[in-house]
Amino acid sequence: MKANYQRGGGQSMNAMLQQAQRMQEEMAALQEDLDGREYEVSAGGGAVTVKINGKKQILALDIQPEVVDPDDIETLSDILVAAVNEAIKRVEDTNNAEMSKMTGALGMPGIPGLF
């Protein structure tokens, strides 16, 4: 069975494919940019600082000596968890905002599941 494509009033198939390829290239470039970004987040009043990249990989974890108390490891653990979670949230929020800008500009707002 032969497919019937209407050409009147719309873009040609070739033009649509070219536009889709451009969009794919722009999104790949944005993703590469986002992956290369670095973020620094502190928790516990600066007791712990996490450096993370756009791929959500921890690059550095700095702990101030005064927060290390062998009798209270739980507090240090809580601060570490808070710092890492906030760092991940910052990456996700930035990635989502930047992708939303791009997809909105392309006339495709709210594409779920991009990240």
What pLDDT does 13 receive?
A: 86
Q: Domains, the chain, ranges and CATH?
A: 38-105 (3.30.1310.10)
Query: What are the φ/ψ torsions at residue 21 (nearest 5 degrees)?
Result: -65, -40
Prediction pTM value: 0.72
Query: Residue 62 corresponds to which tokens in the numbers above?
Result: 């700095």
Crossing angle of helices 73-105 and 13-36, in 10° steps, is 160
Q: What is the pLDDT along the chain (115 residues), one digit of tens a residue?
A: 555 555 555 568 888 888 888 888 988 999 999 999 999 999 999 999 999 999 999 999 999 999 999 999 999 999 999 999 999 999 999 999 998 888 776 666 555 554 4
